[in-house]
Chain A
Amino acid sequence: MSVNGARTVLGGATFVALLVALYMVFIFAPLPANVSDFPEVQKILYFHVSVAWIEFLAFFVVFVGSIAYLKTRSRRWDVLAAASAEIGIVYCSLVLLTGPVWAKAAWNVWWTWDPRLTTTLILWFIYVAYLLIRNSAEEDEKRARFAAVFGIIGFVDVPIVFMAIRWWRTIHPLIFEGGNVGLSPKMTATLLVSIAAFTLLYFYFLVIRLNIAKLRLEVTQVKEELRAEL
């Protein structure tokens, strides 16, 4: 099967998985019993959690790609890290948008300095910094090298940030407690399908983004060949 064929299959599988996930979220999964007004709001959990998981996966791929680039100096790893960081930022922004929507309904505040939410915010800043480094380095080789170095530093920092924010929160306790939502088996199944669908979507984005990078490289090469002929 050609690369294009494989991509189409992946795209189709993603489409079907997302449809199934939507069906399960809105029709199959029961409403939570312990929430009185607007229990429908709880549905956002299926998206919020899936997207949050992908965000960590994406940034882990950046970390792995960065190490592999410094070890091998192969452009492929750099392109992979860059693609994953861009998708990660999109997913991270989605977490930061769906979080407040849920928080407003559940706790009546848009934002709470919950350790997970706050760590996600810092994560967002770290990977925006990663993309800014990519933008401000001049040569390709330098950009790849600096981005890889920062990709490692940034990822290593995340557990320390989480630890620090968690202790900081225990000093300034919140009235609201996140955590145990209490999922029924049907809800758990829905969440798992939703996570799987979003993971497929991540890989589909990744494949498309890698293809764009490849085409861009080809265009540059063709341009250079033409310039050489002139």
Chain B
Amino acid sequence: MNQFLASVKAIVWKDLKAEFRTKEMLSSMLIFAFLVIVTFSFAFNPTLESIKQILPGIIWVAFLFSGILGLNRSFLSEHNNESIQGLMLAPVDRSAIYFGKVVSNFCLTTLIEAVSLPIFLILFDFNYSASWFWLTVVVVSGTFGFVAVGTFLAALASNTRSSEVLLPIILFPIIIPVVIGSVEMTKLLFAGGGLAEIATWLRVIAVFDVVFLVIPFLLFEYLLEA
């Protein structure tokens, strides 16, 4: 078990170190999240009062679209210099690679979300008054489900001909429950709700998170056969 955690940690450390050296993904993801929001503010008049109703949806679309950029790179970058071979030759359980990638993708995606969420609220002049703690729980649980299944499908897509085009097409239908749940919960919190209001949705997301952490864990070794 300690051995396993150590290998997961090593992969996370490697990924984050490589990313923070170049900041290539972080900067593109952040700029893209901005662009989505700016595009939406031209598409819908941001000064209207009704914009508050659709703001949660806009925010999550921005999160997921920018998140996909990061997921796409997480395995494709390993194909440069055939470093994926190196990872597969490492004497560790294959699922350690999966968990390591999930953690590093999760760190990058939540970092982008933490930076961009306050800016979105400022741009749309939204005064958030409900609990920040539950908002964090909602963002973290939604992002986790998205990243858990996204990392798995990114590994699948990276081994095909049309990987970057394929990933969004195979990922979005699967994460529909996360999209619905996260947007609804964010909407309830924006309307001043608390745990009592979001409890049902939190359970749906929790089920999704657990299911799509366990199944990829069981199936991951089939993706990385040489």
Task: State the CA gap A138–B162 with chains docked (Å).
Answer: 10
* Interface: B31 (CB within 8 A): no
Neighbour of B177 across the interface among A128, A150, A154, A160, CB < 8 A = A160
**Which of A164-172, A189-197, A207-215 lies on the face that meets chain B?**
A164-172
The answer to whether B173 touches A164 (Cβ under 8 A) is no
* Interface: A149 (CB within 8 A): yes
* Interface: A87 (CB within 8 A): no
Task: State the CA gap A142–B161 with chains docked (Å).
Answer: 12
The answer to whether A163 touches B204 (Cβ under 8 A) is yes
**Which of B15-23, B33-41, B56-64, B218-226 lies on the face that meets chain A?**
B218-226
* Interface: B131 (CB within 8 A): no
CB distance from B106 to the nearest CB of A (A): 19
* Interface: B160 (CB within 8 A): yes
The answer to whether B177 touches A161 (Cβ under 8 A) is yes
* Interface: B180 (CB within 8 A): yes
1/0 per position for B156-178, CB-CB distance to A under 8 A?
10011111001001101110110
Number of A-B contacts (CB under 8 A): 85
- From residue 150 to 193 of chain A, which have CB atoms closer than 8 A to chain B? 150, 152-154, 156-157, 160-161, 163-165, 167-168, 171
CB distance from A116 to the nearest CB of B (A): 15
**Which of A5-13, A35-43, A129-137 lies on the face that meets chain B?**
A129-137
* Interface: B181 (CB within 8 A): yes
The answer to whether A133 touches B160 (Cβ under 8 A) is yes
Query: Chain B residues near A145 (CB, 8 Å)?
Result: 222-223, 225
Task: State the CA gap A137–B163 with chains docked (Å).
Answer: 9
* Interface: B184 (CB within 8 A): yes
Determine the main DSSP class of A at the interface with B: helix
Query: 10 smallest A-B Cβ distances: which pairs?
Result: A164-B177, A125-B173, A129-B170, A136-B160, A126-B173, A136-B162, A164-B180, A160-B177, A136-B161, A168-B180
1/0 per position for A103-126, CB-CB distance to B under 8 A?
000000000000000000010011
Query: Chain A residues near B159 (CB, 8 Å)?
Result: 137, 142, 146
Task: State the CA gap A212–B100 with chains docked (Å).
Answer: 43
The answer to whether A122 touches B160 (Cβ under 8 A) is no
* Interface: B211 (CB within 8 A): yes
Task: State the CA gap A161–B172 with chains docked (Å).
Answer: 12
> What total of chain A residues lie within 8 Å of the partner, measured CB to CB?
30
| A-B CB contact pairs (8 Å), 29 listed | A70-B222, A122-B176, A125-B172, A126-B173, A126-B174, A129-B170, A132-B170, A133-B156, A133-B170, A136-B160, A137-B159, A138-B160, A142-B159, A145-B222, A146-B159, A149-B219, A149-B223, A152-B219, A153-B152, A156-B211, A157-B177, A160-B207, A160-B211, A161-B176, A164-B176, A164-B177, A167-B180, A167-B204, A168-B184
- Nearest B residue to A125 via CB reads B173
* Interface: A148 (CB within 8 A): yes
Given contacts A132-B166, A133-B166, A164-B180, whether A157 and B174 have CB atoms under 8 Å apart is: yes
1/0 per position for A94-109, CB-CB distance to B under 8 A?
0000000000000000
Task: State the CA gap A171–B200 with chains docked (Å).
Answer: 12
Task: State the CA gap A150–B172 with chains docked (Å).
Answer: 13
1/0 per position for B183-220, CB-CB distance to A under 8 A?
01000000000000000110010011001100110010
Task: State the CA gap A167–B156 with chains docked (Å).
Answer: 31
Query: Chain A residues near B170 (CB, 8 Å)?
Result: 129, 132-133, 150
The answer to whether B223 touches A146 (Cβ under 8 A) is yes
Most chain A CB within a 10 A radius of its CB, from B174, B180, B181: B174
CB distance from A167 to the nearest CB of B (A): 6
Query: Chain B residues near A126 (CB, 8 Å)?
Result: 173-174
The answer to whether B166 touches A153 (Cβ under 8 A) is no
CB distance from A149 to the nearest CB of B (A): 5
Neighbour of B201 across the interface among A149, A154, A156, A167, CB < 8 A = A167
Query: Chain A residues near B166 (CB, 8 Å)?
Result: 132-133, 136
CB distance from B32 to the nearest CB of A (A): 23
